């Protein structure tokens, strides 16, 4: 094996919009000999795209239609071109905490309590299949770490509950993927240096306290882990690699605005999948307290600010705009993966992508009916082109359990899972939910208070959000209640469900309008 002499480039990183960085010449991998046998079938790759800050449910929810014949909602419009390649999930609930801090960790591990071990599902997968590639897994982020609350920005946690910080700089990701793993001479040096340090350990630190020695042991333990990962990358080097693949995808590492960075990262994910550098990615497009400005698309306010669209007025158009853009990023990745041949299929056919947010309603931070999309052929284990809405709410954790199995990782449970989800790999034909049995009506009203039963829906008009209770006579009872009232009753989480409500109403233009609620009951 011939190696390139080791040198980390000393150039300053080129920054600023429109600056493209030349790709280094990667001839090292075109080495003779020690070619590996090509695997018979291409492996499945996993990518999680997390977008924080939820959605405006009114713009997200798909109303009406059937499992296979439905109209895409406003936010989902960018996915029109790939509608047959996606599986939109509905009615998955992730009970537990829903603060900014906890949403990403909860999303990845379905653990309710923030003090629990957050060993995330992607890492559970990487721990099983990650040894087959040069790099076990990679974590990316498009949001900056907010130093006072770094956990906001962390998706993946390893088995020891160590947070795996996402890479922010596409150039660094490129180097990790295609440079660091190919520097054989440097790897040899590092291995011998670390080996030496370990060998010397027995004679060292005798004077340290018992507690300090435990910390130092942990240090030696991590030396061992680094050695193992270097050995892995040497064992699994890519023998079919050529810079032709780089030319073809051209991860045009523009390190300008947020949009360019995200695009570069998606290119790098594709390239990493294609070269089989790693099979597990998690990518934070935006965290749940994102202070990012999407000014490249004309939004001049923080994403988190506009996501609180009930309390902050006139922000809804911008909020929708960002979410629509996040959906369009998914389309970009789908189309990119579909454009690449992977043995006799496309890369898309052998990928599994989860796109979603850890909360639903941006202002109420509800955890019910999470916005989720699955895509990728998953090596034949997903039936795409559907809107799969479960008639009864399912634990979100069950989805993670199913995704692990699709990736070939059998686990009996994760978080508060109760079993696997049905209906992912073939048409589910669920009976339509919320069947109107004729009992949806105003049960009693006395001029000031009423009790009514019906299907709760969220609605919007002139930038004002309100709710409607659909009754059996196809009329809608309007519900316009104060923010606090909604929040205290956790009313928003009942959307899409049949409820019985009790509250005060007023007569507005000859129509009853509920103005405050005292009680909300979900139909069993």
- Residue list 150-179, contact with other proteins (CB under 8 A): 150, 159-163, 165, 169, 172
Q: How far is CA 430 from the centre of its chain?
A: 26
- Rank residues 38 and 300 by Cβ distance to other proteins and give the closer one: 300
Helices (H) and strands (E) in the chain, counts: 12, 17
Q: Tell me 388's DSSP state.
A: E
For residue 382, give the nearest of 157, 100, 16, 84 by alpha carbon.
84
- Rank residues 258 and 403 by Cβ distance to other proteins and give the closer one: 258
Output the smallest distance, CB 488 to other proteins, in A.
7
Total count of residues recorded for the chain: 524
Q: What is the dihedral of CA 160, 165, 171, 172, to 10 degrees?
A: -40
Output the smallest distance, CB 255 to other proteins, in A.
10
CA angle at residue 373 from 369 to 375, to 5 degrees? 155
Site for other proteins contains 520 (CB under 8 A): no
- Rank residues 159 and 252 by Cβ distance to other proteins and give the closer one: 159
Which segment (207-215, 270-278, 341-349, 413-421) binds other proteins by CB under 8 A?
207-215
* Cβ–Cβ < 8 Å for 425, 382: yes
For residue 268, give the nearest of 140, 155, 376 by alpha carbon.
140
Helix axes 121-129, 396-406, angle to 10 degrees: 10
Q: Which of 63, 208, 228, 522 binds other proteins (CB under 8 A)?
A: 208
- Rank residues 68 and 222 by Cβ distance to other proteins and give the closer one: 222
Q: Which of 1, 15, 444, 521 binds other proteins (CB under 8 A)?
A: 15
- Rank residues 448 and 484 by Cβ distance to other proteins and give the closer one: 484
Site for other proteins contains 437 (CB under 8 A): no
- Rank residues 186 and 238 by Cβ distance to other proteins and give the closer one: 186
Those residues whose C-beta lies under 8 Å from the C-beta of residue 495, and which sit 6 or more positions away, are 57, 61, 368, 369, 456, 457, 458, 467
Output the smallest distance, CB 465 to other proteins, in A.
11
Helix axes 210-235, 184-200, angle to 10 degrees: 150
Which segment (39-47, 208-216, 437-445, 512-520) binds other proteins by CB under 8 A?
208-216
Site for other proteins contains 460 (CB under 8 A): no
User: Hey, which residues between 353 and 412 contact other proteins (CB under 8 A)?
Assistant: none
User: Hey, which residues between 117 and 136 contact other proteins (CB under 8 A)?
Assistant: 117
The residue count for binding other proteins (CB under 8 A) is 72
* Cβ–Cβ < 8 Å for 290, 299: no
* Cβ–Cβ < 8 Å for 124, 172: no
- Rank residues 222 and 328 by Cβ distance to other proteins and give the closer one: 222
User: Hey, which residues between 215 and 234 contact other proteins (CB under 8 A)?
Assistant: 215-219, 221-223, 225-226, 230
Beta-bridge partner residues of 353:
47, 375
- Rank residues 50 and 294 by Cβ distance to other proteins and give the closer one: 294
Which segment (69-77, 273-281, 334-342, 478-486) binds other proteins by CB under 8 A?
478-486
Q: Are strands 386-395 and 86-93 parallel, antiparallel or unpaired?
A: parallel
Question: Phi, psi at residue 404, to the nearest 5°?
Answer: -65, -40
User: Hey, which residues between 292 and 311 contact other proteins (CB under 8 A)?
Assistant: 292-293, 295, 300-302, 305, 310-311
């Amino acid at each position: 094996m011939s190696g390139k002499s080791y040198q980390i480039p000393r150039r300053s990183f080129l920054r600023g919009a429109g600056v493209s960085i030349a790709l280094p010449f990667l001839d090292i991998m075109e080495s003779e000999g020690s070619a590996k046998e090509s695997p018979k079938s291409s492996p499945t790759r996993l990518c999680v795209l997390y977008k924080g800050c939820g959605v405006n449910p009114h713009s997200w929810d798909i109303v009406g239609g059937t499992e296979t014949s439905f109209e895409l909602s406003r936010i989902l419009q960018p996915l029109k071109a790939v509608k047959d390649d996606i599986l939109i999930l509905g009615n998955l609930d992730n009970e537990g905490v829903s603060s900014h801090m906890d949403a990403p960790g909860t999303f990845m591990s379905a653990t309710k309590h923030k003090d629990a071990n957050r060993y995330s599902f992607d890492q559970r997968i990487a721990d099983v299949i990650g040894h087959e590639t040069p790099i076990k897994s990679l974590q990316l982020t498009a949001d900056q770490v907010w130093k006072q609350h770094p956990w906001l920005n962390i998706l993946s946690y390893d088995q020891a509950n160590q947070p795996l910080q996402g890479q922010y700089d596409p150039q660094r990701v490129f180097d990790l993927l295609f440079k660091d793993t190919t520097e054989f001479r440097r790897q040899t040096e590092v291995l011998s240096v670390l080996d030496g340090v370990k060998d010397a350990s027995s004679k060292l630190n005798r004077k340290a306290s018992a507690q300090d020695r435990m910390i130092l042991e942990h240090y030696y333990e991590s030396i061992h882990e680094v050695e193992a990962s270097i050995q892995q990358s040497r064992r699994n080097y890519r023998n079919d690699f050529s810079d032709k693949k780089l030319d073809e995808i051209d991860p045009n590492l523009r390190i300008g605005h947020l949009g360019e960075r995200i695009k570069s990262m998606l290119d790098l994910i594709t390239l990493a999948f294609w070269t089989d550098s790693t099979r597990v990615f998690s990518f934070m497009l935006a965290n749940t307290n994102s202070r990012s400005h999407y000014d490249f698309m004309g939004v001049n306010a923080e994403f988190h600010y506009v996501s609180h669209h009930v309390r902050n007025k006139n922000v809804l158009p911008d909020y929708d705009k960002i979410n629509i853009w996040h959906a369009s990023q998914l389309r970009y990745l789908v189309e990119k993966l579909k454009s690449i041949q992977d043995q006799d299929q496309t890369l898309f056919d052998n990928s599994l992508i989860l796109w979603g947010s850890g909360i639903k309603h941006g202002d109420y931070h509800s955890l019910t009916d999470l916005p989720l999309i699955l895509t990728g052929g998953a090596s034949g284990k997903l039936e795409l082109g559907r809107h799969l809405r479960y008639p009864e709410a399912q634990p979100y954790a069950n989805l993670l359990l199913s995704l692990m199995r699709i990736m070939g990782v059998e686990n009996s449970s994760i978080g508060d899972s109760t079993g696997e989800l049905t209906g992912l790999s073939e048409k589910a034909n669920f009976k339509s939910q919320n069947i109107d049995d004729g009992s949806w009506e105003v049960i009693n009203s006395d001029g000031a208070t009423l009790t009514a039963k019906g299907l709760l829906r969220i609605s919007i008009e002139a930038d004002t959000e309100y709710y409607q209770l659909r009754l059996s006579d196809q009329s809608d009872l309007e519900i316009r209640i104060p923010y606090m009232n909604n929040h205290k009753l956790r009313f928003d989480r009942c959307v899409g469900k049949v409820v019985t409500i009790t509250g005060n109403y007023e007569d507005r233009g000859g129509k009853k309008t509920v103005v405050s609620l005292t009680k909300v009951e979900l139909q069993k």
